[in-house]
Every structure is written in C-alpha cells, then in structure tokens.
Structure 1
Amino acid sequence: MGNMFLKAGPLIFEHARRLRENQTFAESVLWNYLRQKPHGLRFRRQHPLGDCIADFYCHKLKLVIEVDDSIHNREDIKQKDAEKDLFFKSKELKIIRFTDEVVIQRFEQVISELEKIIHENMKKPL
C-alpha cells in the first residue's frame, strides 16, 4: 500500500479539510493526545483514504481510528460504517472504533487500548 491516500480524489480532500475545521469535542480530545506523536508515530486527522475519510490514521501502523457520535446508532449510518470498515480491511488496514462518550468519559481506557495496539504492532517489522 504505497499510496497513503489510496487514490482519494479532490472532492474527498476538500471534504476532509472541512471536517478538520469542524471537529467534535471528542475528536479534539483524542487529537490532543495523538498530535504529540506517541512513540514517535505520526497520526493524521480526517485523512482521505480512497472514497472514505478516516477520523485518525497512522500510516506506519496502517491503523484507522474512528470516533463515533450518536448518529452512528442509526441503521443507515451503521451500514455505511460497515462498508467503510470492509474497504479499510480490504486494504489491510486495522480499525478501532470508540464512541464520543468513551473518549470523553473514559479517556484512560482509550489510551490504554491504543498503547496496546501500538506495542503489538511495534513488535512486528514495519
């Protein structure tokens, strides 16, 4: 997967830019941690990947992090999320999802899960 954007087109890049300008509170909380480059890893926010946009993405780990608000409980959105996850998996990307509530109320748990994933993947040759 040499192309870090998976051939995303200009409309996806524009949509991602707008999303970066309007991040949710939970996304800003998580971004404040990820932007510090934990373990020297660079994370990107609202990163275009093909026809999708990952809330957060680390190319070195091939890791997508999604932060879902309550709209993701709707059946039509659940279907779109499932399709998005299938696309990411087809590109050999790992996906982890957190709800806004978990990010805000149990941030230590989120960091612990991310640290576990980072350590598991740092053991493998990158």
Structure 2
Amino acid sequence: MQRTDLPDMFFGAKRAIFQNACELLKDMTAAENVLWERLNKSQLGVRFKAQHPIDIFIVDFYCHKYKLVVEVDGEIHLSQKEYDEGRTAELERFGITVIRFTNEEVLNDIDKVVEEIKEYLSK
C-alpha cells in the first residue's frame, strides 16, 4: 500500500509532496529542530510527525490522533498572513486544528510552547 492510499492521514497528498517533505525534513530550521526534540518519540504521549504531507501542503508537525498541526513561523510569515490564513482554512476543511508559534517563542521559551501544546492535547 502506498502512502497516498491513506487519505485519512495524508488527505490525498501526491508523490511530489512526499518528496518535498523529505527534503524539508533534512533542512529544518533551528526553531523546528528545537521543537522536534520535544515532540518526537511520543514524548507528549502521542505521535507527532515532522514535515508531514497533507493534501497540497507540508505542515511542520502533525499529530493524527488529535488532527493537530503545529506550525513554527519565521519572519517570512509576517509578510504572508493572507496565505497562512488561507492555508489554515484549507486544513480546517479536513477537520484539522492549526496552532502557530513564532521562531522566537520556540527558541526563547520552549517550555511555554510545549505547555500550550499539552493544554490543547488535554482538551
């Protein structure tokens, strides 16, 4: 079975999206790496996947059990708010919740970021 045969987890993502996700996984930002160190290996009691394909998008981190996307936004996101809002709306169409943190939040107060993610998971 191919990954794209699992629409409930990948929502029809095509092969090219998976290939792009693999490249992004190798080249995560410093903030993404810091957060990944706290999310991987089910440290919060659930599995997160880094650089996860969903439809035409690649999200920073995804927890399928809770249909939760965690995005880490760098400076470029300051100039693409409309795009990010549209992307979030598309992901919400699949019943996915998106929460966002800035690079600064992750790099300067990772414990607070992790606590906010835990709070969401406990709802």
In the alignment, which residue of structure 2 is the partner of 1:47? 52
TM-align CA RMSD: 1.3
The AA in structure 2 aligned to 1:61 is Y
CA contact (8 A) 2:44 2:118 kept: no
List per-residue Cα deviations over 1:70-123 (Å, max 9, x = no partner). Answer: 01011xx22221111001111111110000000000111101101101111xxx
Where 2:61 maps in the other structure, the secondary structure is: strand
Q: How many angstroms apart in 1 are the aligned matches of 2:20 and 2:55?
A: 13
2:36 is the alignment partner of 1:31: yes
Identity of aligned residues (%): 38
Q: Could you list the runs of 5+ residues in structure 2 that have no partner in the other structure?
A: 1-5
Structure 1 segments (4+ residues) deviating >4 Å: none
Q: How many angstroms apart in 1 are the aligned matches of 2:77 and 2:29?
A: 14
TM-score (norm 1): 0.89
TM-score (norm 2): 0.91
In the alignment, which residue of structure 1 is the partner of 2:96? 93
Q: How many angstroms apart in 2 are the aligned matches of 1:102 and 1:57?
A: 19
